[in-house]
């Protein structure tokens, strides 16, 4: 289909750095269908070939080889990943109505192709054949096992009616998740409260008042202003969170809180029957696949090996966090008492955020805006690159102009080995927010994946690193909040795992084939360095005066890190345990409603028990409308790994330069190199010399182990 004589269009080159500016929405609607048709035809050919080979192999012919099955499959997937990856990338960073429409018009077809390949019986049979024959190296075994597992979890191993039933239930589950999400969204958007007097908005910061006035104007109250109202309160996070923190009107906090925790829990559009049905059906699907519960299905693809192992970890964290959380609530009561507030005698859930904010300001006076002048982007990059040189022996060199970019603000860097100077990787950095055309948040994505071409030459990995901080204004560089610095380090950690991999099989190189609950290890690991004295003080200098960050500010940053950590940990444990047990222990016959089970768990995972109106499960979108079912624990799991990895550096002494470098090299040679080629437990143990322990996370959170 693609002529070898003509130059292919920019979107279908399929290798090398993309020519971003040459790719238009029109190309997307024209060339993606062309690509998919081409890939479909190739998949047909591959299947036909394998079918013939399979019969011959079974009749005693030559064994099937990796080159016959896995390599062509990988090449098919890579062509799609390259082209569709560019489209998705541009959709995130250079959005326009035309591009969004072009992207949306092709998405279903792209998903359909993935499903077809992932449910092909011929390919499944060929993979099983490869597995039976043996003779594969460790990385190949893991790649093959993951591929087989994913296909089997899609029901490829089921026959006839069983498969039809499985597929029908999969569709019903997808529809139920959508319904859950929609009803939650409707309930969130369907509630509002108009505030009209100054007393009703007492304590609210100017930025929130502006938001509330804007919401009022959008709802038709055209006269609304930030100063004079009216102000429209709602249940979305950007309004809800600061309202509970800052509102001095306890009665209004109560009203807003009760509306929030009771979302989608009553009436016709209640999520209660929906989530019950989801739990029943997931259990049924698990049984059809030969598992005892949905939790087992989830854990089949994770680093954690069993529910017991997850339970054990959560119990360690719970036991450590509970006394701390109790003490924190006591401290808030005492704060309220000092201010002569009535709630001191009877602190309620809607009081917690408010008094925590009062306490935080009293204790730390930490104003995140005020620290910006100490963190200009160029200096932060210098600090980050210097740290990477020190720890991992790599040199990061600005290479602007050496690669095509999608916006003039985007920079390109090369990564070299610090000793040999050998090129290792490259990355794009797109640091600034561009409202209207760039998605919010920060992320790392793959541009090119390390791999060996058929001719033996090497493809070096290239990463996209995207942040959303304020752009420079005039002569003032981009000045970052400490949180933005942490975010940059976090994403760079993902980038390091992508770029420093030594694995040459792309299915397991970098972040590929890394179990979901282990993938945040390098990213959260890098965040720890933001609190390291040498790293932080090395980069935090006032952009005009060159003065270092005052010592007391550093002390406040450290103290703020553990503020209310007991309550925060306990909250995550409560969510994680609820999620896990709903997907392992709960059955329609168990005599408890899902909410009953959650309240049982709350007995020792909350300090202030859920109030009667609290129907949190009806808004637990992560597990009922998102991809976190029986996986919510992953947040804490990965934090344990990253804190424990960082503690290897603490153990040798953060001032002991030689030992720090040696430990850093070991981290590079294990966690950052091995990608998904080995089980994350083995990789961790290769670095740490032992199994992961929760001790470091508990210590870093300021909690004393029980
Ligand atoms: Zn991350």
- pLDDT one-digit tens code per residue, 168-179: 999 899 899 989
CA of 131 to the centre of ligand 1 (A): 33
Closest CA to 294 of 581, 513, 517: 581
How many other C-beta atoms are found inside a 10 Å radius of the C-beta of residue 367? 11
pLDDT over threshold 50, residue 252: yes
Run of H or E residues at 424: strand 423-432
Amino acid 591: pLDDT? 94
> Would you give the DSSP letter of residue 677?
S
Task: Give me the residues paired with residue 423 across strands.
Answer: 416
Amino acid 60: pLDDT? 76
Contacts of 338 (CB under 8 A, 6+ apart): none
What are the tens digits of pLDDT across the range 410-446?
999 999 999 999 999 999 999 999 888 898 889 999 9
Q: Would you place residue 637 in the very low, low, confident or very high pLDDT band (cuts 50, 70, 90)?
A: very high
| Distance in angstroms (rounded) separating the CA atoms of residues 561 and 700 | 9
Q: Which residue has the tokens 């200098």?
A: 541
CA of 616 to the centre of ligand 1 (A): 26
CA of 497 to the centre of ligand 1 (A): 12
Amino acid 6: pLDDT? 72
| Distance in angstroms (rounded) separating the CA atoms of residues 316 and 302 | 20
Amino acid 5: pLDDT? 57
Q: Would you place residue 454 in the very low, low, confident or very high pLDDT band (cuts 50, 70, 90)?
A: confident
Q: Which residue has the tokens 């620290």?
A: 371
Q: Is 131 a catalytic residue?
A: no
Amino acid 606: pLDDT? 97
Q: Would you place residue 58 in the very low, low, confident or very high pLDDT band (cuts 50, 70, 90)?
A: confident
**Are the beta carbons of 62 and 52 closer than 8 angstroms?**
no
φ/ψ of residue 441, rounded to 5: 90, -170
**Are the beta carbons of 514 and 346 closer than 8 angstroms?**
no
Vertex 462 angle, CA 458 and 468, to 5°: 175
pLDDT over threshold 60, residue 1: no
| Distance in angstroms (rounded) separating the CA atoms of residues 213 and 195 | 10
**Are the beta carbons of 491 and 465 closer than 8 angstroms?**
yes
CA of 510 to the centre of ligand 1 (A): 14
CA of 350 to the centre of ligand 1 (A): 30
Cis peptide upstream of residue 147 (ω within 30 degrees of 0): no
Task: Give me the residues paired with residue 466 across strands.
Answer: 430, 443
| Distance in angstroms (rounded) separating the CA atoms of residues 676 and 162 | 33
Q: In the chain, what are the helix, strand and coil shares in percent, each to the nearest 5?
A: 60, 10, 35
Q: Which of 491, 520, 595, 639 is catalytic?
A: 491
Instruction: State the SS3 of 313-327.
Output: HHHHHHHHHHHHHHH
What are the tens digits of pLDDT across the range 638-650?
999 999 999 999 9
Contacts of 151 (CB under 8 A, 6+ apart): 118, 119, 123, 124, 127, 157
Task: Write down how long the chain is.
Answer: 706
What are the tens digits of pLDDT across the range 119-148?
899 999 999 999 999 999 999 999 999 999
CA of 629 to the centre of ligand 1 (A): 18
| Distance in angstroms (rounded) separating the CA atoms of residues 630 and 580 | 5
CA of 522 to the centre of ligand 1 (A): 9
**Are the beta carbons of 648 and 665 closer than 8 angstroms?**
no
CA of 236 to the centre of ligand 1 (A): 23
How much is the mean pLDDT over the chain?
A: 94
Whole-structure pTM value: 0.92
Contacts of 474 (CB under 8 A, 6+ apart): none
**Are the beta carbons of 350 and 502 closer than 8 angstroms?**
no
Run of H or E residues at 414: strand 411-417
């Amino acid at each position: 289909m693609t002529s070898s004589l003509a130059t292919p269009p920019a979107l279908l080159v399929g290798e090398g750095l993309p020519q971003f500016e040459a790719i238009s929405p029109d190309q997307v609607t024209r060339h993606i269908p062309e690509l998919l048709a081409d890939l479909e035809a190739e998949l047909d050919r591959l299947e036909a070939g394998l079918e013939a080979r399979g019969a011959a192999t079974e009749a005693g012919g030559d064994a099937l080889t990796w080159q016959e099955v896995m390599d062509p499959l990988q090449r098919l997937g890579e062509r799609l990943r390259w082209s569709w990856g560019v489209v998705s990338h541009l959709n995130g960073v250079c959005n326009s109505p035309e591009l969004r429409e072009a992207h949306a018009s092709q998405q279903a077809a792209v998903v359909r192709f993935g499903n077809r390949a992932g449910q092909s019986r011929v390919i499944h049979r060929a993979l099983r054949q490869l597995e039976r024959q043996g003779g594969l190296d460790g990385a190949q075994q893991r790649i093959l096992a993951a591929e087989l597992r994913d296909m089997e979890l899609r029901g490829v191993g089921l026959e006839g009616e069983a498969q039809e039933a499985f597929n029908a239930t999969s569709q019903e589950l997808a529809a139920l998740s959508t319904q859950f999400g929609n009803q939650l969204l409707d309930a969130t958007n369907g509630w509002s409260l108009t505030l009209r007097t100054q007393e009703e908005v007492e304590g609210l910061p100017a930025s929130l008042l502006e938001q509330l006035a804007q919401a009022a104007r959008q709802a038709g109250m055209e006269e609304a202003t930030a100063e004079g109202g009216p102000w429209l309160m709602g249940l979305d996070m950007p309004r809800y969170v600061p309202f509970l923190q800052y509102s001095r009107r306890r009665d209004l906090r109560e009203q807003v809180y009760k509306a929030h925790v009771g979302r989608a829990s009553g009436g016709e559009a209640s999520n209660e029957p929906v989530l019950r049905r989801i739990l029943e059906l997931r259990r049924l699907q698990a049984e059809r696949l030969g598992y005892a519960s949905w939790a087992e299905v989830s854990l089949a693809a994770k680093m954690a090996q069993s529910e017991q192992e997850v339970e054990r970890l959560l119990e360690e964290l719970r036991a450590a966090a509970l006394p701390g959380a109790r003490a924190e609530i006591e401290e808030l009561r005492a704060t309220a008492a000092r201010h002569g507030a009535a709630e001191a005698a009877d602190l309620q859930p809607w009081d917690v955020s408010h008094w925590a904010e009062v306490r935080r300001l009293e204790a730390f006076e930490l104003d995140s805006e005020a620290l910006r002048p100490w963190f200009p982007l160029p200096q932060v990059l210098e600090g980050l690159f210097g740290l990477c040189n020190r720890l991992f022996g790599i040199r990061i060199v600005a290479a602007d102009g050496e690669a095509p970019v999608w916006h003039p603000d985007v920079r390109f860097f090369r990564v070299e080995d610090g000793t040999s100077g050998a090129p290792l990787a490259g990355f794009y950095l797109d640091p600034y927010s561009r409202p209207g055309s760039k998605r919010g948040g920060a992320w790392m994505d793959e541009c090119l994946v390390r791999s060996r071409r058929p001719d033996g030459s090497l493809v070096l990995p290239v990463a996209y690193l995207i942040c959303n901080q304020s752009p420079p204004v005039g002569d003032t560089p981009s000045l970052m909040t400490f949180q933005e610095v942490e975010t940059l380090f976090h994403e760079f950690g993902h980038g390091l795992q992508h770029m420093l991999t030594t694995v040459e099989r792309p299915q397991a190189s970098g972040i590929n084939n890394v179990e979901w609950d282990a993938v945040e290890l390098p990213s959260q690991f890098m965040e720890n360095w933001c609190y390291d004295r040498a790293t932080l003080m090395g980069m935090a200098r006032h952009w005009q005066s060159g003065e270092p960050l005052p010592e007391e500010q550093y002390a406040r940053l450290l103290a703020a890190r553990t503020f209310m950590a007991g309550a925060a940990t306990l909250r995550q444990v409560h969510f994680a345990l609820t999620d896990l047990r709903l997907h392992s222990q709960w059955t329609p016959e168990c005599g408890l409603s899902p909410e009953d089970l959650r309240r049982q768990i709350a007995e020792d995972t909350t300090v202030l028990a859920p109030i009667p109106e609290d129907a949190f499960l009806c808004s637990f979108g992560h597990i009922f409308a998102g991809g976190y079912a029986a996986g919510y624990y992953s947040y804490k799991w990965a934090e344990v790994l990253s804190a424990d990895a960082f503690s290897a550096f603490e153990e040798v002494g953060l001032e002991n330069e030689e030992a720090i470098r040696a430990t850093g090299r070991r981290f590079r040679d294990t966690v950052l190199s091995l990608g998904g080629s080995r089980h994350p437990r083995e990789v961790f143990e290769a670095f740490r010399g032992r199994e992961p322990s929760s001790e470091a996370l508990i210590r870093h959170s300021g909690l004393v182990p029980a």
